[in-house]
Amino acid sequence: MQLAARMHRLGTETAFEVLARAKALEAQGRDIIHLEIGEPDFDTPRHIVDAAIQALRDGYTHYTPSAGLPALREAIAEYVSRTRHIPVHPSQVVVTPGGKPIMFFAILALCEEGDEVIYPNPGFPIYESMINFVGATPVPLRLRMDREFSFSADELADLITPRTKLIILNSPANPTGGVLSQADLAAIAALVQDRDLMILSDEIYSRILYDGEFASIASFPGMAERTIILDGFSKTYAMTGWRLGYGVMPTDLATHITKLMTNSNSCTNAATQMAGIQALRGPQDDVDRMVAAFRERREVIVDGLNAIPGFRCLKPRGAFYAFPNIEGTGLRSKALEELLLEKAGVATLSGTSFGAYGEGFLRLSYANSVENIRRALERIHDVVVKIAD
């Protein structure tokens, strides 16, 4: 079988591979603590589950329009308008099975050979994978620990050329927990305002923020017209397995992205969409409760990691990942990931899973109980101390 050449350019998300390896070890009877996978450990709030069950009983068992149920597109338009302080019409909304397809579709719709795409590195691995897949040129924007995993407008300006077609932003960020401030975003907006390029703003962690109010690049004057907001329900409402997300973009682009939906998924699951309406319009206490739990775990994991010889960890400002620098252990990131899985029974991810600039780092998801986090920290501590001896 001869695969199309583009398949050799497609990357992957190693979190799923490490998860499979960890599960195989568990099948052999090993006790593994899972800090590798990026999903809330909470159950989906009850009222959202009930809405989906009711929807199935009410006959939401058929195709929906490719861009989503009108009532959900309306609820999303209202929500995004309220949280980003911009007018949003339902025609700008495309509902997808998870937020990830918006990444896939936006890059597919906008970028081709000869185009350059600037993306955060370390960053979500699918950005680089998709840029390569469509034959465009990936231009990494390095996120540095000494800038709290942010970047200056000058650093970004140095990477922009007449060929830059798309800039990908992700705040709060996976894997670093970094957040772009209002001032950072204002500087970025000023930089790109007069250029013919688009922004893909991955805001999937917009509600998992520990200080201050969430800021979107789309809120700055003139930016909504050139921004695709990616958001969804997976992280905010603990709905990763439901597959429900969306993009908000200029209406004209939304018609093209809708065509990609028609060509691929036809539409997003109907009952899941009904649950999405309930998530947005119903009580939000569960979200507050989950963020409060993440905040408590953040303290535990950051303190614990900083007490391990060779680890240096900043306090993440958003999302639910700790991203310590581990250079002081003398090990490469992948070697440490493997050692911790084999010897400590703790599944983590090498920083290099998020791009070349992730070397020297490890990602640990703290979407796990305080008890498990404490147990994991003890085990990591013991293994690292042993290799230092």
Which residues of this chain interact with ligand PLP, rule CB under 6 A?
38, 98-100, 124, 170, 174, 202, 204, 232, 234, 240, 245
Our CB check for ligand PLP shows the closer of 45 and 98 to be 98
Whose structure tokens read 């969430």?
214
Our CB check for ligand PLP shows the closer of 176 and 219 to be 176
Does residue 371 sit in helix, strand or coil? helix
Query: What number of CA atoms fall less than 13 Å from residue 134's CA on the CB side?
Result: 24
- Strands lying side by side in the sheet with 321-322: 321-322, 362-365, 349-350
Q: Which two tokens stand for residue 305?
A: 């990691």
Our CB check for ligand PLP shows the closer of 92 and 170 to be 170
Whose structure tokens read 């949003």?
88
Neighbours of 195 (CB within 10 A): 12
Q: How far is the CB of 57 from ligand PLP (least distance, A)?
A: 26
Would you list the DSSP string of 131-197?
HHHTTPEEEEEE-BGGGTTB--HHHHHHH--TTEEEEEEESSPTTT-----HHHHHHHHHHHTTSS-
Q: How far is the CB of 382 from ligand PLP (least distance, A)?
A: 30
Our CB check for ligand PLP shows the closer of 286 and 344 to be 286
Q: How far is the CB of 101 from ligand PLP (least distance, A)?
A: 7
Residue nearest to ligand PLP according to CB distances in the complex = 98
Q: How far is the CB of 204 from ligand PLP (least distance, A)?
A: 4
Q: How far is the CB of 128 from ligand PLP (least distance, A)?
A: 13
Q: How far is the CB of 43 from ligand PLP (least distance, A)?
A: 16
Our CB check for ligand PLP shows the closer of 366 and 384 to be 366
Q: How far apart are CA 11 and CA 129, in angstroms?
A: 4
Our CB check for ligand PLP shows the closer of 122 and 345 to be 122
Q: How far is the CB of 173 from ligand PLP (least distance, A)?
A: 7
Our CB check for ligand PLP shows the closer of 245 and 345 to be 245
Our CB check for ligand PLP shows the closer of 311 and 321 to be 321
Beta strand spans in the chain (E): 33-34, 93-96, 116-121, 137-142, 164-170, 198-202, 227-232, 245-248, 321-322, 346-347, 349-350, 362-365
Our CB check for ligand PLP shows the closer of 198 and 339 to be 198
Does residue 336 sit in helix, strand or coil? helix
- DSSP alpha helices (H): ranges in 29-95? 46-57, 70-84
What is the torsional sign of CA 372, 373, 374, 380? Answer: positive
- Rg from Cα positions in the chain: 21
What is the torsional sign of CA 152, 155, 156, 158? Answer: positive
Q: How far is the CB of 354 from ligand PLP (least distance, A)?
A: 10
Q: How far is the CB of 37 from ligand PLP (least distance, A)?
A: 9
- Strands lying side by side in the sheet with 164-170: 93-96, 245-248, 227-232, 198-202, 164-170, 116-121, 137-142
Q: Which two tokens stand for residue 41?
A: 């450990």
